[in-house]
Structure 1
């Protein structure tokens, strides 16, 4: 009986800790997103453009060759972006590259 009680208490405590940490991470992510939006507004106001990472010529060349998956992989390697972010960035870049 004591073992079952201790096991239930341990599982309950682990669940509580997990939910508390999860809520804190979400809160910190919201704060980081808010700070990034504010920074973007300040940079726009001052007319400052973020420099392009080195190696983007390789990504553009891969897009011109219609090798989008390779371009996404290269973009991720260069920028450290996640898959979804890299896919959106390469697709947006593809629109401008195809126009040229």
Structure 2
């Protein structure tokens, strides 16, 4: 009889722990969705107001480009800015074009 009570208690504790972990994961997903919506709205406001986000010029990005290491330059740019891969690639290619560097 005692064995059943112990097993039931363990099952209850594990179930509550799983429920708590699941709700935290859902909170993170909800927060990520809300943050993405806020970022989209902010982008629209900035575009409407004609505000251009200043591009971060990192000398080490330029140095990598000058040595022909485009992928490394993109990695560094992403680390500095936190942007996605496509945006970093476009920014690095723009920096290369402005400096007359031929990186493919």
For 1:43-82, what aligned pairs fall within 5 Å after superposition?
43-55=46-58, 57-79=59-81, 81=82
Question: Of 37, 43, 54, which aligns to 1:40?
Answer: 43
Q: Which runs of 4+ in 1 moved over 6 A?
A: none
Question: Of 2, 7, 12, which aligns to 1:9?
Answer: 12
TM-score (norm 2): 0.72
Kindly state the Cα deviation for residue 75 of structure 1 after the two structures are TM-superposed.
2.0
Larger radius of gyration: 2
Q: Residues 51 and 78 from structure 1, CA distance in 2 versus in 1: closer, same or farther, beyond 3 angstroms? A: same
* Structure 1 alignment gaps of length 5 or more: none
Question: Is 1:29 paired with 2:32?
Answer: yes
Q: Residues 41 and 91 from structure 1, CA distance in 2 versus in 1: closer, same or farther, beyond 3 angstroms? A: same
Q: Residues 72 and 10 from structure 1, CA distance in 2 versus in 1: closer, same or farther, beyond 3 angstroms? A: farther
Counting helix residues as a fraction of each chain, which structure ranks higher?
Answer: 1
CA distance in 2, matches of 1:94, 1:51: 14
* Structure 2 alignment gaps of length 5 or more: none
Kindly state the Cα deviation for residue 18 of structure 1 after the two structures are TM-superposed.
1.1
Partner of 2:90: 92
Question: Over the residues paired in the alignment, what is the CA RMSD in angstroms?
Answer: 2.4
Aligned residues: 95
Q: Residues 54 and 94 from structure 1, CA distance in 2 versus in 1: closer, same or farther, beyond 3 angstroms? A: closer
